[in-house]
Amino acid sequence: MTVENQIPAPVASAVLEHVVRSIVDNPDAVVVSGSPGRGRLRLEVRVGPDDLGRVIGKRGKTAQAIRTLVRAAASRDGVDVEVDFVD
């Protein structure tokens, strides 16, 4: 578990970590961090070097689905989020 405790969107970050860890081959390498940015919370996801393509998916469809799911979860936290996948 590598979600930083200081993220002001605990539901969104927990959902994000759970979904990404379910998709990748190396779940221990998943790191979710948060920082404020452009009027919304920016959640950054880092995965192992071989798992980035798996998380992004064909034509970015998996990444877009993850973003949609996390935005819905963030409404429970009362914040807007932006999800970035970092290599």
Query: Domain of 62: which CATH number?
Result: 3.30.300.20
Q: Is residue 4 part of a domain?
A: no
The two tokens of residue 53 are 């393509």
Q: Domain tally for the chain?
A: 1
Q: Is residue 80 part of a domain?
A: yes
Q: Is residue 40 part of a domain?
A: yes
Q: Is residue 22 part of a domain?
A: yes
Contact 26, 51 (CB under 8 A): yes
Q: Is residue 3 part of a domain?
A: no
Name which of 62, 58, 30 is nearest 43 in CA terms.
30
Contact 16, 70 (CB under 8 A): yes
Q: Is residue 1 part of a domain?
A: no
Q: Is residue 2 part of a domain?
A: no
Note the pTM of the prediction, 2 decimals: 0.87
| pLDDT reported for residue 3 | 52
For residue 43, the cross-strand partners are: 34, 83
Q: Is residue 5 part of a domain?
A: no
Q: How far apart are CA 87 and CA 80, in angstroms?
A: 23
Enumerate residue ranges in the chain where pLDDT < 70. Answer: 1-6
| pLDDT reported for residue 25 | 95
- Predicted confidence (pLDDT) per residue in 38-61, tens digit: 789 999 999 998 999 999 999 999
